[in-house]
Structure 1
Amino acid sequence: MNILPLDFYQVITKTELNDCDRNILTMLYQPIMGHISLSLYLTLWSDLDNSEGISSEYTHCHLMEVMQTNLETIINARNRLEALGLLSVYYGGNETHKNYVYELYAPLTSKEFFSHPLLNVILYNTLGKKEYERVKSFFELPEIKLNKYENITKTFDEVFKVVTKTKVDYKAEYKDRVKGEIKFSSKHFDFNLFYASLPKTVYNNKKFSKEQENLILQLSYIYNIDELASAMLVKNSINEHGIVDEKELRKAASKWYQIEHSGKKLEVIDLTQPEHLKTKLTDDSKRAKMVYRFETETPYEFLKKSYNGVKPTTRDLKLIESLMIDQKLNPGVVNVLLDYVLLTNNKKLNKNYVETIAGHWKRLNIQTVEEAMKVAESEHKKYKKMIEKTSKTKTKKNEPLPDWFDKEFETVAPTEEELKELKEKIKKYS
């Protein structure tokens, strides 16, 4: 919307502003929003008639003259105030008399600011460690130990006596500490993908509150966390009551960032197959049960069960992380790959062999469990040759195959029992 110098504006506020706010705005907000935005805030503040909480009507020429800058610069500064929750803008009027209302909000207290998941981080990154610590110490209270002192403070009734009982009208609206809210657009964050990546134990068609979603957006913005990683962090921040512990979520996001930026890999082995990529099962066959298991178990759980309850080694876990992070394979697809390799390679996860197959599946853009199972079946002979190349010792012993395999390509003649089982399978899938 185009604003002209002769367009009118009024300033209103429902909050009380004081000298402490000036310090907070100058020392904490100014490094983030810049000195022109601070100047605009203070100018709008000075426009107010403090006794009324509403200003006279001004044109934007007034702002240009007082601040000695052009209107475009003022609008850019205004946008920063809006983004930081210090100002709301309302538009009204008609073509001949355009009018804007600017509602000022109080800044956060120093305690709220340094506890904020977004502002605190931006201030640190802007100032650097040394200046950040200096500014933070300015707002810290000196520690006075009162445990050796006796509290002798008088109570109200020890000092005052109420002589008359007068009825007081409480209906009027009074000034208070009214603060704006920092809001985020969700256009760069796919909440559908985020919710689909959460296990059913965490998300059962019941979305989080607006405040929780806003926190997730903030953390995603600050630490550049995508939807899948956000889902994992939220899952790991659930407390014993099944509620997201926001404090733990902030810690987890910060730790995630530190790990990512120290060159280490994030553990993603607690993810399950995204909901939108799961198969709609219509029977309870052995194959369908395996599909369900591949899609509902995390790679860690699947591997642990495959090892008969023994925890996977660090080497195995790093291999899984590599499959999910570097090769970007979905959790269910990773489970199919693990099952195939373990059963055809004598319960051994040969890194080179696994990564060769993973690279092939990545190039084929394998997304679902069904796709992974089909390609494993069709490419079995090729993968068998890979085993011989990557293994130090060759064996002529026939390797067992996964139960979910279609075994029609085997050269050994099937027994009558196997033929019967195969016919039953064909009936089910026909």
Structure 2
Amino acid sequence: MKKMEDYLLADHFVVVIPDIITPYEQKILTYLYAPFLGPQAKSLYTTFYSLVKPGETESEMMSHSAFFNIMQIKKPEKFLEDRSVLEALGLLETYFYETKDGEPNRYIYLMKRVLDPYAFSQDPNLSHLLRAKIGDETYEKIMVDLLIRNFDISKFQNISKAFDEVFTITEDLPMIDFSAWWVDAKNKGVRVKNVHQQFENIKVQLLAQGDWAPEVLNDPRLKTETNRYCFFYCLTTEEMAQAILLSATSDYQIDYEKLPEAVKIVYANKKQPVAVKKIGTVLPKANSELVKKLETTSPAKVFEGKTGTELLPNEIQIFDQLQRKTGVSIGIINVLMLYVLEEKGGEVPSYNFYLKILNTWIRKGIKTTEEALRYINSTPLSRKSPRKEKPVPEWFDKHMEEAKKREEEERKKQESEENMLSMEELEAIFKPKKKGK
């Protein structure tokens, strides 16, 4: 039986780069990454870049066998080992496509830029790995060399013009979505798959910043809440440690009632609110790759990938509470969010709005992500056709103001009730009205 290495020789690959690698990035690669990359993995990284012609972002298709001959790689296992090192350090992403009828399989090697020195120092995994390898004294000397400039920009005043001070947009054009064509080559730091290791990293950072009792840090509740918040709010280990410190008392006990607010503060500080972008694409049908992504990706990441904007802390809390209350899978939560995004034109409504729909799904026996996807694709979205505006009578403004007051009072009354909508009421909300001929 053939091993993976045997198949790899016949398979083809393409290298995709974000841009050429600059001399400054070469310096960062040498000083910050090379100590634990090793000469072979570093050489593989720079060689992949060299396969792309100047002014282009993709290489020509090449077989691994031909590449191994050029690189004098005698053992495919060594190539796989070096490739894994680059992947683990966030310098490379590998994508695989299995072909049919005996054709060579395809790989895409998506290269990632090295992190800038400050981002590297803020990554708890990379900085810890380098400090352990070269020692704190050498680490600090390298950072001084890479970070300090001849002129301290913090002492200068930023007098740059804003966009709207120079340009004027007179026509309101809808956004054109090119996300399906765009390949994100931005380096977002290393990815920790093992949640146990993630929690251990958080504990190390907490111990470095306070006198914590072992029973506090080893509390199973802390691990559960930490992993949960890191997932929902897409927090790094450093950011989660900061949130825990914000919620801690003076004697280093964790106030679990303050922890949710602390998490939202940390998230809000790292994310800038962006205006909601309208979306209008049809939700895709269920397939194994889509289902896997929905079941392993946080709602915040799914929302950002769909709309190009970011959820606010209070909005993330909605999906966290939904999952806590109902116990449904993350996949179903993500499907629900996408469905409501389509229904509400990119807006994020109240918690009760989502809960009513979700409880209806539960009563209909929807238990898996696939079932939720099939259901929403079989349920038409309500689309209202635009109407022509007519002259407004004098009494209309006063009438609308009174109507809004009554509507607000009625809304508050409905939100305080625990009763859920019936299936008939839900169908009336989500199914479009039939137009008369």
Taking structure 1 as the reference length, the TM-score comes to 0.42
Higher helix share: 2
Q: Could you say which structure has the larger radius of gyration? A: 1
Taking structure 2 as the reference length, the TM-score comes to 0.42
